[in-house]
């Protein structure tokens, strides 16, 4: 097929003219990444404003993303408030590629802090809830990662009713605790396997709830955060609902070999990001690599492409992830080896 594009939108799909077609690559929707901690040398954090969010979104467009959720990890209340206001301003300004925000914390389990600062982790209170509900009304999407230990089911229900995508993560929750949160309205799991108690045959925990249930679940498919065998198990256990995230940091889209995270130095070495003690601190990952990792673990190609496009888009209700008339023409091309060959095309495009 040929895709006809006019004024930045897909106008039609028509049969491709006969004759040789030398390009063996794949034209596909741009990636949709729901966990983006930073890029272009910037982290989402205390200095974030709408202009910073625009720079991060632009950097990820160059990495193949049609849209992203800039993600704030656990921080002080005033930083959360600043980032929410920056996101509201970015939405008002129509920043290309800005789909909303993801707040990963601070309402997590300190026992599973990972690279988050345990001193900043705390339970959700009524003021936190009111702030999130108010912000969601002014954002295109808001995803919030919480641990079952740090929130009450009625708080999850209130967030879900307000249109917030509630995701569970950074937790030692039991299977019953996780299932109660899903029953209350949680709809996803943040970076499955990472920062949560491992699957046990007598206590399956959050991993078991994700693999045996129907909630969506993000995966950092870099071959480092999740062993290929564990990725294969997840793919087999869950024929639907898994999606790929980069969990990338400020170094994304740059040649930087180090960065600072809340006063701690993060090193970039051999495709991984770590604190000085070796703790993984986000990922050095682009989603075409995640697709290749998923395919190598047994995912059919069409499914792997959907895991980086239509599945995450559907989770937050974004109008992306498909090639069909009327959709935004934010398209990319992968080569025959599934490497990103051409980054996102945006508004103003015409042609076929």
> How far is Cα 213 from Cα 211, in angstroms, rounded to an integer?
6
Query: Which run of H or E residues covers position 280?
Result: strand 280-283
Beta strands 188-189 and 165-168: pairing type? parallel
Q: Considering the candidates 247, 257, 284, 342, report the single residue annotated as catalytic.
A: 247
Determine the distance from the C-alpha atom of residue 140 to the mean position of all C-alpha atoms in its chain, rounded to a whole number: 15
Give the closest residue to 10 by CA, choosing from 329, 229, 265, 287: 329
DSSP 84-116: HHHHHHHHHHT-TTB--EEEE-SSS-GGG-TTS
Q: Answer whether 256's CB lies under 8 Å from 250's CB.
A: yes
- The number of CA neighbours under 13 Å toward the Cβ of 62 is 10
> How far is Cα 294 from Cα 244, in angstroms, rounded to an integer?
9
Q: What are the φ/ψ torsions at residue 122 (nearest 5 degrees)?
A: -160, 160
Judge residue 48's burial from the number of C-beta atoms within 10 Å of its C-beta, 0-12 exposed, 13-18 middle, 19 or more buried. buried
Q: How far is CA 201 from CA 44, 170, 204, 213, 265, in A?
A: 38, 20, 6, 16, 38
Helix orientation angle between 287-296 and 228-237, rounded to the nearest 10 degrees:
80
User: Is 247 an active-site residue?
Assistant: yes
Which residue has 């930087």 as its token pair? 256
Active site residues: 247
């Amino acid at each position: 097929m040929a895709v006809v594009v006019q004024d930045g939108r897909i106008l039609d799909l028509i049969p491709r003219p006969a004759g040789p077609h030398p390009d063996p690559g794949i034209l596909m929707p741009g990636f949709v990444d729901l966990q983006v901690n930073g890029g272009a040398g910037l982290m989402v954090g205390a200095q974030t404003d709408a202009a910073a969010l625009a720079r991060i979104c632009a950097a990820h467009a160059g990495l193949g993303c049609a849209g992203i959720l800039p993600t704030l990890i656990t921080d002080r209340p005033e930083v959360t408030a600043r980032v929410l206001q920056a996101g509201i301003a970015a939405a008002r300004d129509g920043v290309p590629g800005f789909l909303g925000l993801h707040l990963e914390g601070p309402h997590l389990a300190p026992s599973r802090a990972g690279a988050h600062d345990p001193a900043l982790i705390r339970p959700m209170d009524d003021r936190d809830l009111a702030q999130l509900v108010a912000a969601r009304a002014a954002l295109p999407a808001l995803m919030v990662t919480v641990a079952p230990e740090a929130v009450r089911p009625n708080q999850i229900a209130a967030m879900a009713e307000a249109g917030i995508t509630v995701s569970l993560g950074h937790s030692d929750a039991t299977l019953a605790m996780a299932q109660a949160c899903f029953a209350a309205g949680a709809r996803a799991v943040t970076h499955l396997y990472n920062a949560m108690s491992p699957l046990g045959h007598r206590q399956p925990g959050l991993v078991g709830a994700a693999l045996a249930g129907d909630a969506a679940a993000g995966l950092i498919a870099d071959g480092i955060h999740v062993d290929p065998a564990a990725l294969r198990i997840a793919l087999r256990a869950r024929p639907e609902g898994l999606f790929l995230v980069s969990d990338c940091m400020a170094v994304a889209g740059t040649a930087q070999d180090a960065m600072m995270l809340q006063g701690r130095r993060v090193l970039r070495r051999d495709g991984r990001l770590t604190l000085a003690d070796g703790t993984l601190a986000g990922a050095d990952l682009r989603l075409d690599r995640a697709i290749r990792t998923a395919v190598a673990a047994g995912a059919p190609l069409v499914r792997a492409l959907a895991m980086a496009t239509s599945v995450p888009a559907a989770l937050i209700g974004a109008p992306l992830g498909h090639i069909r008339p009327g959709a935004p023409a934010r398209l990319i091309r992968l080569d025959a080896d599934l490497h990103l060959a051409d980054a996102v095309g945006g508004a103003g495009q015409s042609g076929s």
